[in-house]
């Protein structure tokens, strides 16, 4: 475990694990921590030394002096560079690999934009950032969506009502509903959700640039999707996949909740 002090952002906490020699910076999904990839003990951990970062408003990472207004405005995309700059400051500049699950894929892809010449592998699981997800886009950028999201954060009944509605119309499945519901059952959890999604609202990768860099630097690219994922399905990522020269693509009979023992067993089979 350790911390990086990111200029202008705050103190980000990371978990260090895995028995492999190759360093891999990893970014988890919503509601988890940098320890999320610990379950991949047969497939990923023997190959890599994982440095799994806690997102802000998760685990032990803390923003430094950011106001409510600043958080709602969003973290500038350029600040993502400092994750690797500060990591290099501790461990020295070297070749690395990158992994991201769900919303964590946004940070992973932006680091590919910035440091492709130093990256050997990129692993993306149920990734956000490869296409516009209409639900998040509505909440983060549409005036009505932003208003409703703010109101839901302060309301005991509105957030559960919205969640039940999107489940009813098939936007999310039962697993996602249960995960999301557990993250909105207190006012603090609702506020953390609100702040998390607002903080990362500007972190949108340039997917055409990322694809070109992956091809140019011959980065090994592995993409993993859940066949029953209603949030970030393979179909939405097909334009990006089509731009890659040699991607390894997997689709499991799972939903969005991918980083589980079944994935580990699949990857070593």
Report the domain count for the chain: 2
User: In the predicted model, what is the mean pLDDT of residues 181-199?
Assistant: 79
Q: Which residue has the tokens 């990472």?
A: 61
| Closest listed residue to residue 91, CA positions, set 23, 172, 18, 164 | 23
Number of other CB atoms surrounding residue 13 within 10 Å: 20
pLDDT of residue 188: 80
Are residues 91 and 214 both part of a single domain? yes
Are residues 187 and 76 both part of a single domain? no
Are residues 115 and 61 both part of a single domain? yes
Stated pTM of the model: 0.89
Task: Check if the beta carbon of residue 205 is closer than 8 Å to that of residue 100.
Answer: no
| Rg from Cα positions in the chain | 18
Are residues 164 and 208 both part of a single domain? no
Residue 259: give its domain's CATH number. 3.40.50.1820
Are residues 141 and 187 both part of a single domain? yes
pLDDT of residue 143: 72
Task: Give DSSP secondary structure letters for 118-139.
Answer: GEEEEEEES-SSSS--HHHHHH
Chosen domain end from 154, 174, 197? 197
pLDDT of residue 156: 66
Are residues 208 and 184 both part of a single domain? no
Dihedral angle, C-alpha 59, 61, 64, 69, nearest 10 °: -60
Are residues 145 and 240 both part of a single domain? no
Task: Check if the beta carbon of residue 229 is closer than 8 Å to that of residue 196.
Answer: no
Are residues 127 and 181 both part of a single domain? no
Task: Check if the beta carbon of residue 230 is closer than 8 Å to that of residue 255.
Answer: yes
Are residues 73 and 179 both part of a single domain? no
Are residues 188 and 76 both part of a single domain? no
User: In the predicted model, what is the mean pLDDT of residues 212-227?
Assistant: 98
* 176 vs 259 pLDDT, higher one: 259
Asked if residue 153 has pLDDT above 80, the reply is: no
pLDDT band at 120 (very low <50, low <70, confident <90, very high): very high
pLDDT, tens digit, 9 for 90 and up, residues 37-85: 999 999 999 999 999 999 999 999 999 999 999 999 999 999 999 999 9
Chosen domain end from 182, 197, 212? 197
Asked if residue 203 has pLDDT above 70, the reply is: yes
- Residue 181's domain comprises 134-197
* 159 vs 68 pLDDT, higher one: 68
Could you give the percent of the chain with pLDDT greater than 70?
81
Are residues 223 and 192 both part of a single domain? no
Compute the distance between CA of residue 152 and CA of residue 10 in angstroms, rounded to an integer: 27
């Amino acid at each position: 475990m350790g911390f990086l002090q990111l200029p202008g952002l705050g103190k980000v906490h990371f978990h260090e694990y895995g028995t492999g020699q190759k360093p891999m910076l990893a970014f988890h999904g919503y509601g988890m921590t940098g320890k999320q990839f610990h379950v991949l003990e047969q497939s990923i951990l023997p190959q890599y030394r994982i440095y799994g970062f806690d997102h802000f408003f998760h685990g032990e990472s803390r923003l430094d002096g950011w106001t409510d207004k600043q958080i709602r405005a969003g973290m500038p995309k350029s600040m993502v560079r400092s994750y690797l700059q500060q990591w290099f400051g501790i461990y020295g500049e070297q070749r690395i690999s990158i992994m991201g699950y769900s919303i964590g894929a946004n940070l992973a892809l932006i680091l590919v934009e910035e440091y492709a010449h130093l990256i050997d592998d990129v692993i993306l699981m149920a990734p956000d950032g490869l296409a516009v997800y209409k639900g998040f886009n509505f909440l983060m950028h549409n005036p009505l969506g932003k208003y409703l999201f703010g109101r839901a954060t302060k309301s005991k009944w509105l957030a559960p009502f919205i969640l039940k509605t999107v489940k009813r119309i098939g936007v999310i499945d039962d697993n996602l509903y249960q995960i999301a519901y557990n993250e909105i059952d207190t006012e603090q959890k609702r506020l953390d959700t609100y702040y998390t999604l607002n903080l990362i609202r500007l972190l949108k990768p340039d997917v055409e640039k990322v694809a070109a860099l992956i091809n140019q630097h011959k980065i090994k690219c592995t993409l993993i999707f859940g066949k029953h994922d209603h949030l970030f399905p393979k179909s939405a990522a097909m334009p990006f996949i089509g731009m890659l020269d040699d991607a390894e693509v997997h689709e499991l009979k799972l939903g969005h909740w991918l980083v589980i023992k079944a994935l580990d067993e699949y990857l070593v089979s």
